[in-house]
Every structure is written in C-alpha cells, then in structure tokens.
Structure 1
Amino acid sequence: MASSSTQTLALQTDSSALNCFKEKLMAKIFRFYDEQSLTDVTFKVSNPTAHVPAHRLILAAASPYFENLFKGNKGNKPIIEINDIDSDIFERLITFCYTGQALITVTNVGAMLKAAIRLQLDDAITRCVEYLMAHIDEYTLHDAYMLERETRCEILKRKFIEYEIKNFMEISQSDEFLNFDVERLQRILESDNLNITREEDAFDAINRWFNYDVPAREEQLPLLIACLRLTQFDADFLLTHIQPLPGCELLAFKALSWISKPEARTKINMRFAEPRAVICEKTLLALCCVETWMNPTLLQYNKAEDKWQEYASINCDYKWYRTILKDDNILFTGGEKKDDETTSNIVRSWNIRNKTWQDLPAMKQARRSHCVVELNGKIYAIGGFDGKKSLSTVERYTTSDGWEFVSSLNDRRYNASAVTLNGKIYIMGGRNSGVPLKSVECYNPDSNTWTSCADMTECHWLHGVAVHKGHIYVVGCFSGNGTVERYDPQQNTWSKICSLEVGRGIIACASLDNKLWAIFFSVSGNKISVSVYNEENDRWEQKCAFPGHFVLSCYVVPVALLK
C-alpha cells in the first residue's frame, strides 16, 4: 500500500488527472441520485408530504447534522421524518449536497437560509446570504432585518454591517436604524470606511437614534459619540452640539483641547484623532435646459478648478417633469408630452454611469409640476397638476408593491418644493388654481397623515429648497424677490436670512461640503449663476457662472460616479 507521502506526491504531480477523476466521480454520484439508484435512506418531509431518497455517505460528508443523525439511533431507520422544513426547500438543499448548487429566489431565500442553518450546510448558508445581499432592494430592508433577527446568522449580520457602512446615509434614515442595538451601531460608526461626506452626517444619525428613546439610551450615548472623529468638528460645533449632550462633556473638552493646543496633542488621549480613511468626495450635477424643458443638459461642477463642464446631453421629449436622484440614476416622473401636450404618468430612469434609459412602472395618476422625494427607500410623488386642476393626491413607489396612493395633502398645490428631514416629508409653497401659497405641510409615514406647519413669511413657487444642518432653506426665485427663509423643525418657526439677488426663473439648492449652494438663471447676464451662503457673515458669495438657461434640478453625487 502506498504511504501518505507517496499519495501526496502523486496528487501534486498529476492534479489535472485528479480533477478529471473527481468530476467523473461526482457526475456518477449525482446520476445515482437523479435516478434514485442505490439510495439507502428516505426522508419523509411535510408541507406538502413528500419522500426524498438520498445516500447517507454523501449527506454525512456534506453536513455534520447528517453525520450525527446517521450515527445516532434515529439514523438507522430506513425512513426518517423531517417535520420542520418544507418539502420543496428540503429537496433543494439535498440537491445542494450533491451539486453545490441550489435554485434560490427572492421568495424562498429566507426559508432556504433557515433550513440551511438547521441542516448545518455552511456553504448553502453562504450562498443564501450572498444572494440576499445581491437582491436586497427586492427583498426589502425590513424583511431582511427580520430574517437576521430570527436566524441570528453571524455571516448575515457581518454582511449587513458591511452593507450598512457602505449605504450609511440611506440606512440611517430607515425605521430599522432606530432599533439598532448600541453594539451594532458602534461597529458601524467605528469604521474608517463609513460612507459619509462629512462627520456631521454620522452625528446627525446618532442624534436621530438617540431621540427615538432618550430615557433608555442616555447612558449609551457617550459610547457612540466617542466613535465620531471629534477633531474634525470646529470649536463652535463642539460647544453647541457635543458638550450639552449627557455624559459627553469630557469628550468635547478633550476634542477642544486637541484642536486649540497642537503642542499638547501627544498628551491627549483621543480614540479617533485622524479623519476617516475613506470619505466619499462629492460634487454637484445640475440638470439644465432651455425654456421648453426638452433634451436637458447635465453639467458637472469641478470643485478644484471652480468651473462647470458638460457631462451629458439627455434625450427627453417631455416638459414639466420632475426628477430625483436614486442611487446611480436620475428618475424622470410625469410631465407633459411634446406631441399632444397631455399630462403623463410615465416614470423613466436615466443611468448616470451608462447614460441609458430604463422604463419603470407608471404612476397611478398623470401629473406634472409636482414634487418627488425619497424617504426610507420609497419614492413619493406629491401633488402637481393634471392638465385641468391642481392635485392633492400623493402616491408612493416601492419595488415590491409598485405605486400606491397614500394620504392626500390638505391643500392642492403644484410648482411647490419638498424635502425630507428627520424621517418626515415637508412640502411648502406652490400654487393652487393660480393662487400663490405660503403654507407648509408635513407628512409622517408612520401615521400616514399630513399636518400643517407654520406658514412661510412669503409666498413661493418654483423655489429652491434644501436641507442644511438640520434646517430647511427656501430660496425664492420665480416670484422675483430672492427672499431666503430658514425653517427650524424643532421650534416650528421660519426666519429670514440674507436675500439673494436673482432674476425671475427656476432655482435649485443643495447642501455640499457643509455649505448651502444656490444655482439659478440670471436674466441680466443670460447665464446660470452659483452662490454659496456664508453663515458667519450672513451673505452670499459668488462662485463660477456658466452660459445656459433654466436649472431644473441639482444633485449631490460621488465624484467617482462620474469617472
């Protein structure tokens, strides 16, 4: 008989022959299974009742569950009952033991994962987790988190945390985020790869989590604040936002000392003194057009050179549509057709990377001059005009349920503006049957209700709006006054800040690099002007302008997306 060392040498010198032998052997074994030949055990499985024949040796080699089963007294029986796994799922996993493959779908992945864990099929568990993460948008975050809690699958938890780090901005706005335990949140916030544009994003997320259950989380708050890169905040932010938090006074003091006394930094024990290794650099994209709105141009802002350049021309024969940035796509919703000027319910997605169109399910109601926002991964189309009258209807889109109506607005309105903040939707201004509005409404998705908020100080329509540092900013333009108002959601109050000298036209706003940007068409110069708000001096500072006409929308996108 050959020794083990001789066998190893033979295997090393003829690995191709060995692989060929293994392939033939496995093909033969699977044929035996397929033909139900030479089987020596049968499983009786319920729901519906089915008999699944197999080979003990193969199953024992594939799983410690079957190995222990066949070694025990129960394993000697020719028929073994399995009562806690559906027959279809069980048969798929038995096939996996022979082939290493199984048909996994969005509808069965949860049951497959639970059964794979029950049968101790590690490779099948990995396949299920990989499939789930690849189809997470179809499966929905809520169901995925439910599955993780039910299975307590460590592989799934680890993959989820990787996903949460990569998609932190979206996850932190979800309802599931509010129920994260402190250990999970710590693991996410500690990561150098946390995908945020600025450290304030992580602070805002902690604040939202904390305010959801203040009494129960007060003691845990300092653990999370300590995960922030506190040295990246300025002194004013530390004194205003960090120091007043319960248990965080010392953290704020150490960070202030580190910032103000560089010579003493070696003596200050800061857990995270350096900025995160990976901060996703972002820039602006502006969707611009002539008065007809058709065939818009997408312009990219180069921050380093303070200039705008054309990124793409988009072939679009609609007008009065509304757009939103969704992942790597710009969604065009509704609008008015070019040929017959009828209002449409069409929804199309234009991919920024590939510059290609894709049709999506149409809205239930045709609308133009409406508002469209994203909240917790769901797209909302709000109000607008149907060609005859102002609308108050609101509908919501998910990949699983398509478009469905939710509660309507209290006031009909079109050419309004809307944003999301603190898990709610705010819509403000617009017109109702031609009458300008200064009213504001807030939508709570938990109760599916719209409630009135404090009115703006002036009426605005086709105005710019952006969320910036926990406040909502409204910049009037089409009304011709250039008034800028700021809304405090905690106090439910509006206040005016420095006005912006703008001409009559459409304006877009965005928050980038911790600054508020306004992009608008200047009639006098026949160009698109760009201004950045200086909060310390309460004034607007001019940036690079560029030839053009109306700016329809403005998006903050990763620079890497445009390469």
Structure 2
Amino acid sequence: MASSSTQTLALQTDSSALNCFKEKLMAKIFRFYDEQSLTDVTFKVSNPTAHVPAHRLILAAASPYFENLFKGNKGNKPIIEINDIDSDIFERLITFCYTGQALITVTNVGAMLKAAIRLQLDDAITRCVEYLMAHIDEYTLHDAYMLERETRCEILKRKFIEYEIKNFMEISQSDEFLNFDVEKLQRILESDNLNITREEVAFEAIKRWFNYDVAAREKQLPLLIACLRLTQFDADFLLTHIQPLPGCELLAFKAISWISKPEARTKINMRFTEPRGVSAANCNEKTLLVVCSEETEINPKVLQYNKAEGKWQEYASIKYDHYGCRTILKDDNILFIGGNKNGAPSNIVRSWNIRSKTWQNLPAMKQARWRHCVVELDGKIYAIGGREGKINLTEDRAMSSVERYTTSDGWEFVSSLNDRRYNASAVTLNGKIYIMGGRNSGVPLKSVECYNPDSNTWTSCADMTECHWLHGVAVHKGHIYVVGCFSGNGTVERYDPQQNTWSKICSLEVGRGIIACASLDNKLWAIFFSVSGNKISVSVYNEENDRWEQKCAFPGHFVLSCYVVPVALLK
C-alpha cells in the first residue's frame, strides 16, 4: 500500500519525467502481452475457438467488468470461458486494454460496439461510436439505427441526435424517420441549430411522421407542433395548416395573437418566439452562389462570394448550351431545366452536382419551354409558364401551363396559370407559390398569382404598382421583394402576404439587364447592372435607413440565378 509520502513524491515529480516513465512502463507491459510473458489468465473464446492470454491487473484497471470478474469466484480460474463474443472481436478489445487502439472497420464496428458495451470498455465504446458516425454513409442509415436500438448505447444515441439535427432535411425523408419515438423527435425539433432552410420543412416532417400512424400519434402531435417556431409563419399559414390539426387550436391562436398584437406579447406564453439560430459549427454558415455568363447565357460560370475578403471567385465552369433555361437549387445539385437550343424550345432537364461537378440526366418535362419560372415547394419542382415559340420577336407565344416533378411520379401537369406569362419571377412562401410580372404577347405585366398545392388552384393577388420582367425576386423576413426590371426600371417593391398589399421602398440605379437577389445573413442582397458604374454591382438593403449600400463589383455579365448555400458545400 502506498504511503502518503510516496504519493506526495509522485505528485512533485517533474511531469515530463513522469510521462517518460509511464511510456516506458506501458511499452514494457505491452511487450509482455505481445510475447505472452507473465500472463496469469487465459480466456477461452468461441466462434472460432481461441485462447487469449492476458494479465489480470491490466484488464481490471481498464474495465469494471474485468475488475468484478477477477474479484468473484469465477475469476480465480486459470481459464475463463467467454461464449457471447467472437474470438476476433474479443482479442481486438483485449489489445485495446493495453494500447488504447483497435482496428475498427465498417464490417466489424457493430460487433465491436456490442462487445465493448458488454465488457464495459468506455473508451472503446467512444472509439466505435466515433468511427461509426464518420462512416455512416458506408454503414447505411438503416443498419446504424438497428444498432442503436439493439445496444441502447447512450453515447451513440447522443451522437445520432447531433447527426439528425445537422442532416434533418435528409433524415426526415427516410423510412427510419417514420419510426422515431416522440421523445426523440421532440428533442430534435427543439434544437435551435436544426439545419433547415425554412420552418416549413420542420412542419412538413411532422406531418409525414404523424400521417404514418394517425391513431397512435394524435395525442402526441401538439407536443411536436409546439417545438416549431410558430411566430415565423404568417396568420394565413397558421389558420390553414396549424389550427385544423387535432389539439393545436390554442397553439395557432397564441401564435396569431403574438404576430398581430405586439403590445400583448408579454401576456402570451409561448415556448419559442425567435427564429432558429445560425451557427458555423452545424454547417449553417451561408454564402452566395451565382450562375452567370459572359454574353449569351450559355456555358455559364458558377461564382461564389468570399465574405471574409468581400470578393467573388470562380467555383466552376459549366457546359450547357441552352439559351433562356432556368435553374434551381435542389439539395447539393443545380438543376438546369428547359431552354432554347438552335432556335427551338427544349424540355431537357439535367442535374449538376455542386460537390462532384458532374452531370446527371433527369426525366424531361412534358412540354418544351424557355424563359419560364422554376421553384421548389415541399420537395417538388414546378416549371411554370414560359415561351413555347422559337427565338423570333414576331412569334411571342407565352404559356400558362404548369407541371410538377417528383422522383416517384416524374413530371405531371397541374392547374394552369390564370395569365399566360414568360420572363416572370416566382418564389415560395408559407407553403404557397407566388409568381409575379413577366410579359404576355410582348406586353409587360404587373399582375401576381398565388398557387395553393392543397387545392391545386391559382388565385389572383394584388397587382404590383409597376410592371416588372426579368426582375429579381426574393423572400426576406416574411415578405416578397421585387427588384427592378430588365428595361432599366429600378423600382423596388415589397409585398405583405398578410395584408395582400404592395409598397415601394428605395429604388436602385438599375441599367438594362437581368437582376438577381437573395436573402443572406438577415439582409436583402441584389446583383444588377449599375447605370452609374456601367458594370454589374452588388448592393445590400439597409432597412433602417431605407437605402441601398454598395458591397462590391461583380465579375459576370448575365446573372442567371443566385442561391444561398452552406459554405461547407463548396469545400
């Protein structure tokens, strides 16, 4: 037994000398193990049968399981049988007790984790979980969830929660998601770091989970709806989508009161009233990605904005020879839809992966179109309106047809627009599609339409104050902003969906050219041809002072589209 004087001496020993001593000691111990020297216990392990010699003192120090085993009656035997662990896995974990290292592979990580839990090797459990999460794509999500359920490993459960928060948009579409218990899903949805592009994504995920077993989950639904940032929806969405849900009437009423009566907010008891946070740690740091071309809109370049340096840099060059096509960001891909090649409209759809910079062909649209609009709503791609004629100023044939794409059903027509239009702009907001402006038979439009996917109908909204075509459009802080016009009109308008009204804000000195805009870092950005600078400029709207502040020049000519993407996607 160590005396207090020897303990004090050990504490006062120089740390570098102490570390050196420990390294030599462990090296000597491992050599004894490697040479099977001075071992005092042997394990007889099955499948296949093998004998594994070891040192009791080392194993007891490494694991409470071995400590208790050797203190018991069974531990006094020179040979101890282990029947519930494969010999290869057992030997690897015995080696871990000496070295702190083990060869973990995709094929053995499940068995390694189960055995490490059985032997109470906490460090080995942590190593297995870390390896599994780093190789989750190779292991498959289904098998990983099976392993979590079998082992009930708290470390794995915690890591899965982190993974699900970070990859929620993908996870929520998986079959495994439908079997999440309510406590697990509640913990995920409560997270301020939930990685979603908009709050509607979380709502749609809850609906999918709920519809999988309505009878069993009806009482649990309000618990999950309460985890949403309900104040980020507008009153129409709350009345249409939240209030009809069983047990959610009061939640909808509170949220509507919070939105419409700011003076009463201190009296309204709500769990979450602020939008979810943004953090670089969970891959939510965003930047701008722009598809642009030099002159003819074909063979575009992809540019990314470096926020740290305040400048643009080329990310990739793309070979795509369709004039007047439209693009949309879908997960890690940019979809190029339609366009006009050799004077004729096309129904082609191709997907360009941002990470791998490779192409993939997708099913073609039912109808060829160019100068149309494309948006994504609830995971479905919509192609709206456009031109069906050739590139000929005398043949200006606008379209009203709308078709929708899903991976399961391909392209299918839905209700047509009320007004034929091309060179319009469209966005999604609160579970609906809004399309505004454009041209019809050469005549500029100021009309606006709204599509409700639940009823498959287009309804007219309040007209814009002026006509806009090839204009920029973005959703920003619950409103729709329309920026400028191809003709050089720099008017900027803001639409309030709750009031169905348009109002003008500070205009831009826009020259003749295509305009793009986006909402990034809680600010409205616009990319446009500047009259004063005779070049493409980037400006940010200052809401407090109602003025536009110039950020930087832009090295492109035709801006085809602008997207907000995670910085991690471009690495």
Q: What is the deviation of 1:276?
A: 2.0
| Conservation of the 8 A alpha-carbon contact between 2:234 and 2:430 | no
| Conservation of the 8 A alpha-carbon contact between 2:312 and 2:555 | no
Provide the rounded CA distance (Å) in 2 between the counterparts of 1:348 and 1:438.
32
Normalised to the residue count of structure 1, the TM-score between the two structures is: 0.61
Counterpart residue number, 2:173 = 173
| Conservation of the 8 A alpha-carbon contact between 1:329 and 1:349 | yes
Flag the 1:548–1:147 CA change in 2: closer, same or farther, 3 A: same
Provide the rounded CA distance (Å) in 1 between the counterparts of 2:406 and 2:107.
16
Provide the rounded CA distance (Å) in 2 between the counterparts of 1:412 and 1:70.
83
Instruction: Select the structure of larger CA radius of gyration.
Output: 2
Counterpart residue number, 2:377 = 375
Provide the rounded CA distance (Å) in 2 between the counterparts of 1:403 and 1:92.
53
Flag the 1:56–1:493 CA change in 2: closer, same or farther, 3 A: farther
Counterpart residue number, 1:153 = 153
Normalised to the residue count of structure 2, the TM-score between the two structures is: 0.61
Provide the rounded CA distance (Å) in 2 between the counterparts of 1:376 and 1:139.
29
For 2:341, what is the secondary structure of its paired residue? coil
Provide the rounded CA distance (Å) in 1 between the counterparts of 2:348 and 2:33.
51
- What do the CA deviations read for 1:485-514 (whole angstroms, capped 9, x no partner)? 999999999999999999999999999999
Provide the rounded CA distance (Å) in 2 between the counterparts of 1:84 and 1:412.
71
Provide the rounded CA distance (Å) in 2 between the counterparts of 1:294 and 1:493.
37
Counterpart residue number, 2:393 = none
Q: What is the deviation of 1:23?
A: 0.7
Q: What is the deviation of 1:515?
A: 14
Q: What is the deviation of 1:13?
A: 3.9
Q: What is the deviation of 1:253?
A: 1.0
Provide the rounded CA distance (Å) in 2 between the counterparts of 1:80 and 1:366.
75
Deviates more, 1:96-105 or 1:543-552: 543-552
Flag the 1:440–1:153 CA change in 2: closer, same or farther, 3 A: farther
Deviates more, 1:389-398 or 1:99-108: 389-398
Q: What is the deviation of 1:37?
A: 0.7
Q: What is the deviation of 1:427?
A: 21
Q: What is the deviation of 1:213?
A: 1.5
| Conservation of the 8 A alpha-carbon contact between 1:138 and 1:399 | no
Deviates more, 1:25-34 or 1:306-315: 306-315
Flag the 1:232–1:433 CA change in 2: closer, same or farther, 3 A: closer
Q: What is the deviation of 1:52?
A: 0.8
Flag the 1:146–1:306 CA change in 2: closer, same or farther, 3 A: same
Flag the 1:334–1:270 CA change in 2: closer, same or farther, 3 A: closer
Provide the rounded CA distance (Å) in 1 between the counterparts of 2:367 and 2:241.
44
For 2:219, what is the secondary structure of its paired residue? coil
For 1:372, what is the secondary structure of its paired residue? strand
Q: What is the deviation of 1:197?
A: 2.5
- What do the CA deviations read for 1:82-109 (whole angstroms, capped 9, x no partner)? 1111111111000000000001111111
| Conservation of the 8 A alpha-carbon contact between 1:173 and 1:376 | no
Provide the rounded CA distance (Å) in 2 between the counterparts of 1:333 and 1:498.
33
Q: What is the deviation of 1:212?
A: 1.6
For 2:545, what is the secondary structure of its paired residue? coil
Provide the rounded CA distance (Å) in 1 between the counterparts of 2:420 and 2:45.
58
| Conservation of the 8 A alpha-carbon contact between 1:527 and 1:548 | no
Q: What is the deviation of 1:524?
A: 22
- What do the CA deviations read for 1:46-95 (whole angstroms, capped 9, x no partner)? 11111111111111111111111112222222221111111111110000
Calculate the aligned-residue CA RMSD, in Å: 9.5
| Conservation of the 8 A alpha-carbon contact between 1:371 and 1:383 | yes
Q: What is the deviation of 1:520?
A: 14
Percentage of identical aligned residues: 92
| Conservation of the 8 A alpha-carbon contact between 1:526 and 1:548 | no
Deviates more, 1:552-561 or 1:534-543: 534-543
Deviates more, 1:125-134 or 1:251-260: 251-260
Flag the 1:269–1:6 CA change in 2: closer, same or farther, 3 A: same
Flag the 1:137–1:75 CA change in 2: closer, same or farther, 3 A: same
Flag the 1:397–1:339 CA change in 2: closer, same or farther, 3 A: closer
Q: What is the deviation of 1:301?
A: 7.4
Deviates more, 1:476-485 or 1:259-268: 476-485
- What do the CA deviations read for 1:127-183 (whole angstroms, capped 9, x no partner)? 000111111121111111111011100000001001111111111111111111000
Query: Which runs of 5 or more structure 1 residues have no equivalent in the other structure?
Result: none
Flag the 1:366–1:261 CA change in 2: closer, same or farther, 3 A: closer
Query: Which runs of 5 or more structure 2 residues have no equivalent in the other structure?
Result: 279-284, 391-396
Count of matched residue pairs: 559
Flag the 1:296–1:108 CA change in 2: closer, same or farther, 3 A: farther
Q: What is the deviation of 1:38?
A: 0.9
Flag the 1:251–1:416 CA change in 2: closer, same or farther, 3 A: closer
